[in-house]
Amino acid sequence: MEGLMITGKTKILGIIGDPVEHSKSPLLHNFISVFKNIDMVYVPFRVEKNNLSAAINGLRALNVIGFNVTVPHKNNVIQYLDKVSEEAELMGAVNTVKNVDGVLYGYNTDGEGFLRDFKEETGQSFKGKKVVIIGAGGAARAITVKVVLEGAQNIIILNRTEDKAKALSDYINEKLRNCSCYRGMGNNEVKNEIKECEIIINTTSVGMHPEIDKSPINSDGFFTERHIVYDIIYNPLKTKLLEAAEAKGCKTVNGLGMLFYQGIYAYEKWNDIVFSKDEIELFFKRFKEIVITS
């Protein structure tokens, strides 16, 4: 395998966000391009909040073939795009943009990436399941929409700020299906909901590096081995929440796979290709090495 060779024909991909320095996406996408011998390079662009419109115009003018969008632009970018997928519209967030002859198409591969990883790791689906979502921000909305579209029976949103939990719950009930309710974070409320549910998903950043001693819920004694606990955090790979769940015998999954698959789906969209199972396995193995060593 040869290294990256930039020529006059090389196509440009990138990621816009602020910050972007920590992003693993350049490593993943450039590895894939080199491996597949596709003449593309993926670069980070730090774009401040008030420069978003100028940045999108610039990317269009420069004819980049696509880009990812991360914090804080996932919502605001929508107004500058020409078309947005139905799912991204429902999620209120776009993380992947494809430029087709100057027309910018917006997608959300976070939800798809989450779902794929969940299925791969647990062998289960959301059909008929009772699911607790911790958090009510942007990540919570994307994941909740996906989980409801996948046929979950019941969604309980737990959030520190109850008003935000109510707003997300109302939104789901109005736009998708009447299947959602919300609770505060009081110990008894959390305990009762967890006792009743099968799947718990943490969508907050609580427990993320450097605050690795924090957990979004005090889970002592709430988990049993029939629970699946998914934490979208990937740094650290085992959060305090996952550690507590694992100690009780739950199936636990961290956010590394979600990060990986959202990137895979973006790359497939930009290039109109579908990777084979073997390729995905190889890319994931390499991605894990990249994340651990970078």
Nearest distance in Å: CB 206, ligand ATR:
5
Residues 202 to 241 in contact with ligand ATR, rule: CB under 6 A: 203-206, 216
> By C-beta, is 140 or 179 nearer to ligand ATR?
140
Beta bridge partners of residue 104, listed in sequence order:
99
Q: Sign of the C-alpha dihedral, residues 255, 256, 259, 261?
A: negative
> By C-beta, is 99 or 239 nearer to ligand ATR?
239
Query: Among 24, 74, 146, 191, which one carries the catalytic annotation?
Result: 74
By the 8 A CB rule, do 231 and 208 touch? no
Nearest distance in Å: CB 3, ligand ATR:
35
Six token digits for residue 68: 């990812």
Stretch that binds ligand ATR, among 5-13, 133-141, 145-153, 176-184 (CB under 6 A): 133-141
As a whole number of angstroms, the longest Cα–Cα distance in the chain is 62
Instruction: Compute how many residues bind ligand ATR; rule: CB under 6 A.
Output: 15
Q: Is 164 in the site for ligand ATR (CB under 6 A)?
A: yes
One DSSP character per residue, 70-117 reads -TT-TTGGGGG-SEE-HHHHHHT---EEEEETTEEEEE-HHHHHHHHH
> By C-beta, is 37 or 188 nearer to ligand ATR?
188
Residues 134 to 163 in contact with ligand ATR, rule: CB under 6 A: 135-140, 159-161
Residues 12 to 41 in contact with ligand ATR, rule: CB under 6 A: none
Q: Is 66 in the site for ligand ATR (CB under 6 A)?
A: no
Task: Please state, in angstroms and rounded to a whole number, the distance separating the CA atoms of residues 228 and 152.
Answer: 14
* Residue 248 is among the residues annotated as catalytic for this protein: no
* CA-only gyration radius of the chain, Å: 19
**DSSP strands (E only) in 145-215:** 154-158, 180-183, 199-202
Residues that bind ligand ATR (CB under 6 A): 135-140, 159-161, 164, 203-206, 216
Active site residues: 74
